A and B are shown apart, each in its own frame.
Chain A
């Protein structure tokens, strides 16, 4: 305050919003993805640990039915395309297309929740049967929690994009939401293998 400051540069020309790694929210999303991926990895490690302690796996039950989990896998992999498209049009700040993309992704998200409900019904075990059952329910539940939060987030964003609150930062929110959906799908691929394939091949 006492001395006159020495100005080295004037940054007024800098943009006031950015997508991807130039924005803080992108890094924040990545941070939470790392946390949750660690959680998934540890839960999966616990699954293998318990499997190693048991003679037969699953112990006295049938593995989960193929149908719903695999349908979920197909659905999620297919959703990567509209998700990618939404991300791209959000990068271009194209409001009309972003609205289309978000409505589509909301519909896809709700559909995955319905399929998930059927998955729980086709596990062929209860969480309190034995450690295998507990593990299966927790893995599927952990992923379901991610589905619910991301679908909720997508719905809120979709509504926002139809209000007066549209501004450049909202498009960044959309791109971050797309990144997160990719993570939810990426997490499902190994979890699907763990829940549906591993019990059949060991």
Chain B
């Protein structure tokens, strides 16, 4: 029994305990210890979330630099800035980094930070698993980039098609690093998905029944389920690939009964839902930002939730549209064409609900809203080219051309990066306690919007007139020169927008206006606590009485008391109605997640060089996991019945 427990003080929050005293005791209980050790053992979802966000943006910048290198190479015909081999590595690293190390992790990062705050709880479910997932993600990303710097970067495209990626045509270790990077990032993503599902199911504030869950949280919940069902496919396929390469299995070797298209089926069974794994959280950003700046509740809440769920299901029925030119039966193609067009319906419903919210509101055109409007314009254009690509004859014509490159950048940058930047402007005050500059924000948006369209719109035309993707150069006289130069100019303007953003962040962290709890006048729970929030998120767990709690209770939310202040304790509520059920302890900081992640890293990287690493590498891993789960102290003394 520690001296604190022995103190005669009241151990739970409630009217009997002074607010200042409650705050101080919660801070003592929940604060991450100072110093390097504390930093390495932190399990605070806000700290882990911030690390995830910063790391993902570093990868975004690195992959953006690679994009600029490609645009410089393609600015004119027959340039020699990059060799063909280096170019192959660069486009592979660009796509791989953007998809696996930036887009998915950054969306999960926002979930890690925001979902516990938005549902009104003190911590994420399984906080040590959360810390572990970050270290594993970091190790996978660093491994890939170190390999690239050492000229062992993957060079077979971000989807690593066999037979090119197989042992015969890609000797060496380049593809193995790619395949193990998949394992790292998918382990991390799956762990986060489970945490988010459980946090949303069991840790919502009392009164937050299913029909009152913020749309951002709904988006992250559906996304997490998509991760659960989609990511195993890429883990299975990348494991088969690495086994084909390292221990002589024949999954993708047609000479021994294997099949190259099996790779494409498994990869796209993951790869297409992946698009929605990136896009649905972004719709959550939009549905959070719009009501705040339109100053009215979101239009069509139920329709928006149903659209999210429908997208989640339909997203699994589309993968074959990536394989229209592989010679599959016509009937199959028709089915997937229909499914690909059908998914435009829920997306359309979402767009119309957002437009209606804006139309009926009193919009305030702050930077987050600018990015949302940019999103609507660009994403609709990307959606339209998507409907074109869903048609087999058009797809057969433009497959593997710049038309496809244009399409997916419209969908991914328009559909995810624009809302993401809006989200950064929107939640930056909550994360840091400072506002970003609005003036710089407007410049950031303007340069982004103009630069993006100049860079990618010409690619539609380039594709239609026959320029294939993934070529490191092209001869003069094909009519591609001017459009390529234009695209490069656009990419430069886009990069200038990123520089303005970085300058804005750097400057605002030091000199930005100090943000109060709710600087935008928003309605959701993350704005009911200080900016940035304390280690325990809320002094008392709030009670939710409607879908827009802060608007419906302008005099402050009602709260519940009775949670321990001398131990980390969470309130668990029922899945549907969020009725209080259990007070459950939440884990203390621990170094074991980092040690376990290190053991996983040794096992994964070791297995690139010898299959026996799976055997001897499992020993430190087992030690790490047992150390992680082994209780560190004697059982708690029973609570006093009367305080």
Contact = CB atoms under 8 A, between A and B. Distances in A.
B584 interface: yes
Given A23-B584, A42-B236, A156 B571 contact: no
Given A4-B19, A10-B14, A49-B265, A27 B236 contact: no
A43 B229 CA distance: 13
Interface stretch (A80-88, A103-111, A132-140, A191-199): A132-140
Given A7-B558, A46-B251, A49-B265, A27 B563 contact: no
Contacts of B634: 164-165
A32 interface: yes
B559 A6 contact: yes
B266 A46 contact: yes
Given A6-B556, A24-B125, A14 B583 contact: yes
A50 interface: yes
Given A7-B559, A138-B243, A131 B259 contact: yes
Contact of A49 (B235, B259, B581, B582): B259
Interface residues of A, number: 57
B585 interface: yes
B580 interface: yes
Contact of B580 (A14, A17, A23, A127): A14
Given A14-B582, A42-B266, A22 B572 contact: yes
A31 B228 contact: yes
B247 A9 contact: no
A58 B257 CA distance: 10
Given A6-B556, A27-B201, A50-B262, A130 B584 contact: no
A166 B636 CA distance: 10
Contact-residue size bin, chain B (C-beta under 8 Å from the other chain):
35 or more
Interface stretch (A33-41, A67-75, A112-120, A179-187): A33-41
Interface in B357-413: none
Nearest to B635: A167
A16 B639 contact: yes
B232 interface: yes
A134 B194 contact: no
B198 interface: yes
Contacts of A17: 582, 584
Residue from the set A10, A28, A42, A131 with the largest chain B CB neighbour count within 10 Å: A131
A21 to B, nearest CB: 7
A17 B581 CA distance: 10
A24 B236 contact: no
A57 B23 CA distance: 68
B534 to A, nearest CB: 10
A10 B560 contact: yes
A9 B205 CA distance: 13
Contacts of B229: 34, 38
Residue from the set A5, A10, A133 with the largest chain B CB neighbour count within 10 Å: A5
Contacts of A32: 194
A71 to B, nearest CB: 25
B430 interface: no
Contacts of A6: 556-559
Contact of A131 (B193, B247, B257): B257
B67 to A, nearest CB: 32
Interface of A: 1, 3-18, 21-24, 27-28, 31-32, 34-36, 38-39, 42-43, 46, 49-50, 53-54, 59, 127-135, 137-138, 152, 156, 160, 164-167, 169
Chain A to chain B: the 7 pairs with minimum beta-carbon distance, closest first: A134-B249, A12-B562, A31-B194, A131-B257, A128-B248, A11-B562, A167-B635
24 contacts: A1-B530, A6-B558, A7-B15, A11-B562, A14-B562, A22-B572, A28-B125, A34-B228, A38-B228, A50-B258, A50-B259, A50-B262, A54-B257, A128-B247, A128-B249, A131-B251, A131-B256, A131-B259, A132-B257, A133-B249, A134-B250, A135-B251, A137-B249, A164-B634
Interface of B: 12, 14-15, 19-20, 23, 125-126, 190, 193-194, 197-198, 201-203, 206, 228-229, 231-233, 235-236, 239-240, 243-244, 247-251, 253, 256-259, 262, 265-266, 269, 530, 539-540, 543, 555-563, 569, 571-572, 575, 580-585, 622, 626, 629-631, 634-636, 639, 643
Given A27-B198, A42-B236, A134-B258, 8 more contacts: A5-B540, A16-B582, A27-B125, A38-B233, A42-B233, A46-B266, A131-B259, A134-B243
